Every structure is written in C-alpha cells, then in structure tokens.
Amino acid sequence: MWFPNTVLSSGETPNTTPWNFSSGCWTESTKISTPHLARNQSLQPRSSLTCPHCHKQSDTFDPFLCISLPLPLRQTRALNVTLVFQSKQQRFLRIGLAVPLLGTVASLRQLVANEGNTSPDQVILVDLYPSGFQRSFSDDEDMNSIAEGDPVYAFQAPSPLSKAARSSGYPRSLPASPRCPHLDAQKEPGGKSKSSEFLSETGQILLLFCNIEGSGKEANRFGPPLLVREESTISWDQLQQSIIGKIYYLIKNDVHITVTNGSYLSPNDGRPLPAPAIDRFTTHGDGGPRHVKLAIEWDPKTKERLFGNIQEEVVQDAESVRAQQLEHQQQTCTLGECFQLYTKEEQLAPDDAWRCPHCKVLQQGTVKLSLWTLPDILIIHLKRFRQVGERRNKLSTLVKFPLTGLDMAPHVVKRSQVSKGILGQWPSRKHSPLPPENRQLDVLYDLYAVCNHHGSLQGGHYTAYCRNSLDARWYSYDDINVEQILDEEVCTRGAYLLFYQKRNAIPLWSASSSVRGSKSSSV
C-alpha cells in the first residue's frame, strides 16, 4: 500500500505542502482547521517503491492516525478426515491433516492419498452426516467450502475385479491402518495407478451406500457406509444380493433404495443402474473415481426386527488428530513480529504493475513500508478480522505487547539511509527539534490504554483497560463496572487497539515516576 498525497523520488526535491517532511508537522494553515487529536499526531509512514530494473526508488508519504498491524497467520488449518475400511476388525479411523487455507480439494485428496499410500485418483471424498450422504467433493472446489467441523469421509475405490473375484467376498479398500505397504499391489505395473478413466472403461459402477432408518428429515443412518463395484448391467436381484453380501442381513423386497438426489431405483427395472440419475452422477465432477451414492431405506419395524438396537461404531482417532489440534491451537506472537510483517518487502503482482518514471515501462516493483516520523501518541490497531474467500473470522491470536519501554527504533527509517542531498533541501524543524539518534527517549513508548473486543464479526462488546496516572495501577472498564487488575492481566487475546505515549512527551500530570524509570523493551 502506498499513499498518493506526496511522492518523493530519489534525487527529486520534495513537495513540502502541506507537510514538512523532515518533521512530519502540520503547517500553520493546517493546524488551524485540524482536530486536536490529529494535530498531536505526527505518524507518517513511508512507502518505498523500487524498480527492479533501474533500482530507482520512489517514496510516498501520507499522515496516519494509527498503525494497522497484520497478525502472523498460519498457511494451513487443521481438518479431520475419517478413513473408511472394509476390514472387519476396524471400520473407521479419523486422521488429522494440515490443509492449506487457500487452494482446492485436489490438495486434500492428495494428503489423504499420502496417508493411505495410494493414488489420489483412487480416493473418494464425501460428506457423511447422521442423515446420510450429502456432497461428493470434486478437485476444483475451493477448500473454503469445507468447514472445520464438516464430517468428511474418505473411501478408496476397489480395483476392477472379475466376476469370480466379486463373488468370493469383500473387495479391497483402504488399508486397516494408514501407510500399509501392501497397497502398492493395487497400482499398475511400473508404478502407474489406475485412474478414474481406466476404471470407467471396465463397464462397472462404484456404489457408495449406507443404511438409513426412515426417510426424508426423519432419516437416521446406522451401521458403517460401504463401497462396492458392480457391473452397470447388474439386475435388481443381483444388486440386492450384493448388498446382502456386504451387510449379512436379508433385505425384504419392499425395502427402497434411493439415489442421493431423492429419486428411487425401481425393482421393476430389469437393469436398474443404467438410469438417467445414475448417468448424471457418474459423469459429474472431476477428481477421484466416479461413483453413485445410494441410501438403503429401512422401515423402522423391519430395521428393529433385523438389526435390533444397533449402535453406531466408535470412530477411533489417530494420534495426528490431537497433534494437528495442538499445532493449530490459538497462536501467540509478539508485537515485534507484527511490525516485521507490516514492514516486510513485497513484490507487486503482475496485474498491479507500476509504470516506472525512469524506465517508462510497467514494472513489478517491490514495495516496503516503514515509519518516517513518530507521534507523541502512538495508536496501534491489531487486525483481528480477516476474510479468505467467502469465509470471515476473527483471529484470537495472543499478541504479547510491552506495558512499558516499547522501543520503536528498529521500525523507524534511519536518517543515514536517506541521501544527504535530499536532506539538505528540507527545511529545519521549528518546534521540538529532532533529538540525536542516540537519544532513546524519542523512540520509547509506554502503554496507557487498551481497547478490547469480545465476540465475533456478527456481534461483540468492547471493554477498556486504562492505567491510572495517579496511582500507576491498571483498571478494567466494562460499561459502568470498574475494577482494578494486575499488570499481567492487561495482555489478552481480545486486545484490539493499543494506546502508547512517547516517554519524553508525557506531561507531569499524566505520568508517575515509576513509568519514567522503567526499562525499554525492543520489539
């Protein structure tokens, strides 16, 4: 970000109207019409834009009332995925993954494939709720479409099998535990995996089904979801027999089988699978094997008679679930890290290319923010609200900030970094001349107030912590409630605005001797 009011290119005479850039003070005409708070502020960031070709630097300046500091962000978030196995000993295993904040479902499918030591083309990702299947995820979907608590289940497509092999029992699926070496046998010779295109050429259809008691809004899933591969020409009776072979129970003729979109397969169809609904589902979406999600609806009485009071199987958590939760817990950072992120050099994107006044062509220059002058009252805004795609949330990062002795020297432009020719053209400061660089008091600040935000983007509440200048103690202000707090209670995850005062500018009536004698803290 750079500021349009005044531009100073290397070797050019600065425009000092309405600002005196050597001090950042208002001109006399501006002082008259400016509010008191703004008049006391002389915070002036400098945005330096450097051409990568000629290395000429163009500086822009603009007055700011506060510094908005970004908070360090992780580039990943924790997401749990439940692997579904065909093993009788273990049906489920929930694993924890670090998925990218930005990106597509293709990256998630790759992570799941890595856990199962298989190809991503073999992995099916779906939402499985207590009421049954919902979405199947395609590779081009944004990762923001999957919320942290979504029940994501992963299945591995069984390899195409002969009729003899299918009649012998369970097809293979995800291993009984992640990273089983025997899964390499499911790949083609030479390491080439069977892709969804290869599987579709076999004339077989992947059927993903679950058992449901009732229908519609009253539906409740029971038992494990299962995955089978069948010939597209399978008959109704053969389909029932296949399902029987998977659940070991007899399905009565009046049991209904529905496609996820609500349409029913008819027992009167000699070949129920080559239906329009099936065709739509097997040709939609990219990423992972093409499949059809089915729900086996059971009449409550029939379900009770055949299954009894069947209990949902417990999903075991892998160690990675807790590990990812711990790793992605609420972050902690220092105020110094926020300043480092604020002043970090960045390159312009191709769409934001800048026309260099020296080269006369568009260049992807590098932009760097720094502080040119500091105010007596320094207001720091912590940017706790962010938006990634359509997802908006509040960051609860604990920012550790000093109560006394905030040293701003590392973040202020050293005057030695500016050419002497430019400095020589600038008028001298008339009021409060700039002290020598070895005088630390000009860059030392002490905290005197904090504004806290509690809640979320949808609603919240503000409180304040203020330091009493008479007794040098901190107090909490929550509407009409005021109470004393300890120094260590001032720094919280709700801190939103920080108010610092320059130490050598503190008037006698607002500072205690204990503040003046405190030590500095560089950030």
Which pLDDT tens digits describe the chain residue by residue (523 residues)? 332 333 444 434 333 333 333 333 334 334 444 444 444 556 777 877 888 878 888 777 777 788 899 998 888 888 999 988 876 667 788 999 998 877 889 999 999 998 888 888 888 898 888 877 888 888 888 887 888 888 999 988 877 655 554 444 433 333 333 333 332 333 333 343 333 333 344 577 788 888 888 777 777 888 778 787 877 777 777 777 777 677 754 444 455 555 555 555 555 555 555 555 555 555 445 667 778 888 878 788 877 777 777 766 778 888 899 988 888 876 789 999 999 988 888 888 888 787 888 888 887 788 888 888 888 899 999 999 877 666 677 888 899 999 999 998 888 887 655 544 333 333 333 334 444 443 566 889 999 999 999 988 778 899 999 999 899 999 999 999 999 999 999 999 999 999 999 988 755 445 444 454 555 555 6
Query: What are the helix and strand counts (H, E) for the chain?
Result: 12, 32
Q: What is the pLDDT of residue 8?
A: 42
306's CB contacts (< 8 A; 6+ apart) are 249, 250, 298
d(CA 160, CA 231): 10
d(CA 108, CA 96): 11
From 172, 175, 123, 177, select the one nearest 152 (Cα to Cα): 123
From 114, 141, 115, 113, select the one nearest 127 (Cα to Cα): 141
pTM, to two decimals: 0.55
Tokens for 507? Answer: 């008037």
d(CA 292, CA 308): 28
Direct distance between the N- and C-terminal alpha carbons of the chain, in angstroms, rounded to an integer: 23
d(CA 495, CA 400): 10
Residue 347 has, within 13 A of its CA and on its CB side, a CA count of: 5
- H helix runs in 215-312, sequence order: 236-247, 276-282, 300-307
Q: Give, for 296, the enclosing helix (H) or strand (E).
A: strand 291-298
Tokens for 33? Answer: 């019409």
Go through the domains of the chain in sequence order and give each one's CATH number. Answer: 6-72+331-522 (3.90.70.10), 76-326 (3.10.20.90)
* C-beta separation of 115 from 178 below 8 A: yes
3-state secondary structure of 470: coil
d(CA 39, CA 20): 13
Q: What is the pLDDT of residue 267?
A: 55
Tokens for 271? Answer: 């070949």
424's CB contacts (< 8 A; 6+ apart) are none
From 261, 300, 257, select the one nearest 280 (Cα to Cα): 261
From 50, 48, 52, select the one nearest 60 (Cα to Cα): 48
Distance of CA 413 to the CA centre of its chain: 33
Handedness of CA 328, 329, 330, 336 (dihedral sign): negative
18 cis-preceded (ω within 30 degrees of 0):
yes
